[in-house]
Amino acid sequence: MEGPTPVSALIHAATLVTAGVFLIIRCSIIFENSRSLFLVALVGSLTAFFASSVGLVQNDLKRVIAFSTCSQLGYMVFAAGLSHYSISFFHLSNHALFKALLFLSAGCIIHGVSDEQDMRKMGGLIKLFPTSYTMILIGSLALVGFPFLTGFYSKDAILEIAISKNNFVGNFSHFLGCSAAFCTSFYSFRLVFLTFINRSNTYKKFIDHAHDGPIRMVFPLLVLALGAIFAGFLTRDMFIGLVTSFFGNSIFNNSYNFNLIDSEFLPALIKNIPFVFTLLGALLSLFLINCFGISKTAIYNLKISKAYRTFYTFLTQK
């Protein structure tokens, strides 16, 4: 599924790779009356965690965003596996906004640095690409579920539904979902640090010709950025409200599968678990990638240790 950045934005955000999730949602009556829903939830939660863990060690700018797509698809699938197809569709539509924003912003960066895609050969681009940096930051914050951005409303709803199930599948999905949120936060901020914040590590001739995108490239980013900020808040009651009739008869649920009210009244401590995992992932990225408050010698010794190299090789080979 490799292709030009606009094509990547289309197939990863809204059409090709999400078609399977849409098929599960539309076939809800079949899944509800079968015994395979628990398997859907298990596969989805494992996918969310595995894909996000592989994304930790990717160095290609577009590949990091692509693996985050695989991880978010896992969230959608296990939400459907927990019999909440409306929340799965809500996350699908929200994901389309901030993932298209990330891919198109990455395209502006790649175009501006002479088609270089390796994040290790970037760095220090924040002054040269202020618009693209702002857009990638908005998209990344929405992706990790930063409070009150679009991704927050759907991702947290999925994890709250999982923990409120009070069974093995729900608890298993919630644990892997929170672990995936930790990994997502780590590689999202790793992308920001390596591309924009850290010291420049690119060729001088690339820097001399680096430029932000023209208005015809930036205008779609502005539209998507507005969606990544406001769409979740504006459409949450339409998609997943208790009395909404938006989906009509297109989604079928057995009567015993509704636990939206249970998730709504969970203790605040449990509701904030995903945000704590997200915050920890961002802090770990800050310490390891940006060497904030830690000596570079200590980081180097960690990275050449046998345990770290074994772990890195395992994830690199997927």
176-194 pLDDT, tens per residue? Answer: 999 999 999 999 999 999 9
CA distance 199 to 125: 9
Asked whether 75 and 155 are in contact (CB, 8 A), the reply is yes
Mean pLDDT computed over every residue of the chain: 91
Q: Which of 24, 171, 25, 10 is closest to 104 using CA atoms?
A: 10
- Domain ranges (residues) in the chain: 5-244+266-316
**Is the pLDDT higher at 258 or at 142?**
142
Structure tokens at 293: 């408050």
Q: Average pLDDT of 25-46?
A: 93
pLDDT for the residue 211? 84
Q: How confident is the model at residue 1 (pLDDT cuts 50, 70, 90)?
A: low
The residues, any chain, with a CB within 8 Å of residue 177's CB and separated by 6 or more, are: 45, 48, 49, 75, 78, 158, 159, 162, 274
State pTM to two decimals.
Answer: 0.94
Asked whether 41 and 81 are in contact (CB, 8 A), the reply is yes
One-letter identity of residue 159: L
CA distance 36 to 40: 6
pLDDT for the residue 264? 87
Instruction: Examine the pLDDT at 15 and tell me if it is beyond 90.
Output: no
